[in-house]
Structure 1
Amino acid sequence: MKKISRRSFLAAAGLSVAALALTACGGSSASTASSVASSAASSEAASTSAAAGELTTVEAGKLTMATNATFPPYEMTTDAGEFEGIDIEAAQAIADKLGLELQIDDMDFDAALLSVQQGKADIVMAGVTVTDERKAVMDFSDSYATGIQSVIVPEGSDIASPDDLAGKKIGTQRGTTGYIYCTDDFGEDAVVAYDSGLTAVQALNNGQVDAVVIDNAPAKEYVAANPGLKVLETSYAEEDYAIGMAKSSPLEDAINSALEELKADGTLQAIVDKYITAE
């Protein structure tokens, strides 16, 4: 079907320095090693603080992230009302790299996209796909994740592949690429847009739509929580996920540098592995 992409991250890694004291009169060596370690840590902290001071953000000292926390396992809320997920931990790791405090603002998906365009948030992370239409109104970081658009149908459905969606009623989340793809392929009259993926799946359970098109990771979560539903083996689309920012954002270079470091040291992959197990 279509081709575009997505993938993700973990909480900040701390610096640990161990000084080994040798035998005999080792007091001096241990003291020297400790002093060097302390000096290195102080130097890094000072460097991070200085770098953070040079960054222009919506709120001084903070990295404000707009998201839509109804998209497991990328962003969701716990029973205690706290945020968790791949994008949440990735953003925290980036904020730590930049020496900034992470602030998360939860809102509808469309509002999250508008938030960075209007200068109300520094970044948007909500499984955001890079498209030409979005590139016209915002800038994007390097890709951090590769994802798949999947189709959820009831067990026993006559829909066996994405091609069978023709003539069916399709549920999607408003403003997502799933909505864009389906309206392009099957027309606006065939697609029903809901405020969240969860609401779309509830509509599928109630027989209001014949299928739901949504990202593969949350699709699996929804199917696991709703017996009688399944994900088709054939994917609908592949796409790249990136961090959205305002046009000409002063943070773009810094965020890309942080992403590069987090990819290189394995932090991003560790976060993904924490939430998405290998099949």
Structure 2
Amino acid sequence: MQTSLRKTAAALALTVGSALCAQAQTPSTLDNVMQSGVLRACTPGDYKPFSFLRADGVFEGIDADLAQSLATALGAKVSFVKTSWANLMPDMLAGKCDIGVGGISVTTERQKKAFFSTAYMVNGKTPIVRCADVTKFQTLADIDKPGVRAIANPGGSNEKFAKTNYKQATLTIHPENLTIFDEVLQGRADIFVTEAAEALVQQKLKPGLCAVNPDKPLQYGEMAYLLPRGDVAMKAFVDQWLHLAQVTGEYQRTADKWLR
């Protein structure tokens, strides 16, 4: 019996050791990026001030600039991969991305399938409405009423917030994030709830729209970068790079450039 147990234990130890050795030999995303010289950054590119795809094909914004900085720290160049909010996670799981950027909200649902970097911004859910209607939509109870026409974009945390919280308001899922603010401005919808940073930027870009209490969001939220699940080396590097960007002032200078 003891001989049999020893053989079983030895076989188990060999199996575990082989698995650990194989895991150690598997290159991380960090290794792959440094060897290829390319950092593939998936981004929807429709979310000012984080990442926005211009008509000339150039991505701009806070996260576009910071992705360039991260790539430089890795000795690589960034290559942006256009995706959508609905396809962001599938593209990450399919190996099309080394990192996901562009104003990504930290959620437990996303955490089940991927890693997040350390959060770099607190950015809660904030309504944006026509300025004449600001006093009408001060609370979630004010929004979720019969006759209120709410709107949301598909595939991300804005849609989830709307579907979770609206029981009486009429909700429309608008497929184009770039034109969703015009729906409110032109009176075809009454309210859109998004992150405070986007609401503040859009009220500057579209006179007639106002963010409602952006300093007191309806729901707490954080922004972070999406990373391959289980890749501890890549997460550790991104977290350290982000820490240094914050303590040296690089992050704040970049954010101020796009938020002012």
Mark yes or no: TM-score above 0.5: yes
Gap change, CA 1:57 and 1:116, over 3 Å in 2: farther
**Percent identity of paired positions between Structure 1 and Structure 2:** 21
The answer as to 2:185 corresponding to 1:209 is no
Q: CA deviation at 1:116?
A: 1.1
Match of 1:87 among 63, 67, 84: 63
8 A Cα contact 1:86 1:271, kept in partner:
yes
1:17-65, CA deviations, whole angstroms, 9 ceiling, x for partnerless residues? Answer: xxxxxxxxxxxxxxxxxxxxxxxxxxxxxxxxxxx99712498221100
Does structure 1 residue 239 correspond to structure 2 residue 221? Answer: yes
How far the C-alpha of 1:209 sits from its partner, in A, is 2.0
**1:72-151 alignment, distance < 5 Å:** 72-78=48-54, 80-151=56-127
Instruction: Give the distance between the partners of 1:188 and 1:136, measured in 2 at CA.
Output: 30
Aligned partner of 1:63 among 36, 39, 54: 39
Cα gap change, 1:123 to 1:59, in 2 (>3 Å): farther
In structure 1, stretches of 5+ residues that fail to align are 1-51
Higher relative contact order (Cα pairs below 8 Å, separated by 6+ residues): 1
Find the partner of 2:245 among 230, 240, 262.
Answer: 262
My pick for the range that moved more, 151-160 or 164-173, is 151-160
Candidates 136, 140, 157, aligned match of 1:162: 140
The answer for unaligned runs of 5 or more in structure 2 is 1-27
Secondary structure of the corresponding residue to residue 125 of structure 1: strand
Equivalent in the alignment of 1:31: none
In 1, Cα distance between equivalents of 2:38 and 2:63: 17
Q: Which residue of 2 aligns with 1:274?
A: 257
Cα deviation, residue 81, structure 1: 3.1
- RMSD across aligned positions (CA): 2.4
TM (normalized to structure 2)?
0.78
Residue identity matched to 1:141: S
Kindly indicate whether residue 162 of structure 2 is the aligned counterpart of residue 182 of structure 1: yes
2:142 maps to amino acid: D
Structure with greater helix share of residues = 2
Measured in 1, the distance between the counterparts of 2:196 and 2:144 equals 20
